[in-house]
Amino acid sequence: MEEISKTRLDQLPETGKASWITLRFIIALALFLTILFAFVSITDEIVLEHETGFDQRISGAILPLVSPFLTSLMKTVTFFGSEMFLFPAYLVLIIYYIYRKRSRLALDTAMIGLSSTGILFLFKNIFKRHRPLDPLISHVTGFSFPSGHSFSSFTFFGLLVYIIWETTILKVWKILCTFLLFAFASTIAFSRVYLRVHYPSDVIAGFCLSVVWLMISLWILHKADKGIVAGKVNNKGAI
């Protein structure tokens, strides 16, 4: 993996710095509020008000696609959104950063992984939505809203996207990796609806919650890391 870019905001010209911060902040805030609004709307209209028309239409459109081959494929794909894959994946990423002596990044990754598990458990037990009654796989337990596979996969692969964009590799590779990772996470989310263990609204809500939580987590951790770095600089200056 490439080294994290050493370019820092305080190295930019003052005019460019101000405009860059303003543009990035506005885009991030607009994205955050839009996705948060989508999550709240889904929660209110579909989960709390029990408006099932959207879920029925999407599930009905998927029904003709069902085949033994596609079912087998979706069972394989859905594995990559499970804790059996994601827990070792987080662990590998943490060990990699420890090996590279980037302890703060290792800690940030661990914090995102642990906090996302907690937030998912909290929301599932708040809404307690039951799963569809005719799943294509067995031994699926727990509540349905939001989809844990959707939330967890978009969180993990979204974190990878963030890491990739902080490297110095060519922009074309960053865009390609972003597209592939998002497509793979979307396929995992689709597999949950195809296998009838989640409603479409569950996986969309999982995606929305993932983006909101990941943006909040990265912002908090970024501020905390800047505070730690600033404290070390001040301590050195005081010596």
| Best CA proximity match to 78, nearest among 2, 187, 154, 5 | 187
What local confidence, expressed as pLDDT, does residue 208 receive?
A: 95
The confidence score (pLDDT) of residue 104 equals 86
Q: Cβ–Cβ contacts within 10 Å for residue 184, how many?
A: 15
**Whose CA is closest to 1, among 167, 139, 114, 138?**
167
**pLDDT top residue among 221 and 145:** 145
pLDDT at 189: 96
CA distances from 37 to 45, 54, 58, 65, 167 (A): 12, 17, 21, 31, 31
d(CA 209, CA 120): 9
Checking if the pLDDT of 221 tops 90, the result is no
Report which of 84, 80, 81, 110 is spatially closest to residue 95, judged by C-alpha positions: 110
Distance CA 51, CA 55 (A): 9
| The model scores a pTM over 0.85 | no
At 11 the pLDDT is 44
CA 31 to chain centre: 14
Highest mean pLDDT among 1-10, 39-48, 221-230: 39-48
Check: CB of residue 185 under 8 Å from CB of residue 154. yes
- Given a contact cutoff of 8 angstroms between Cβ atoms, the answer to whether 155 and 221 are in contact is no
pLDDT digits (tens, 9 = 90+) for 8-64: 434 444 444 445 467 777 888 888 899 999 999 999 988 888 888 899 999 999 999
pLDDT more than 90, % of the chain: 59
Tokens of 38: 């989508």
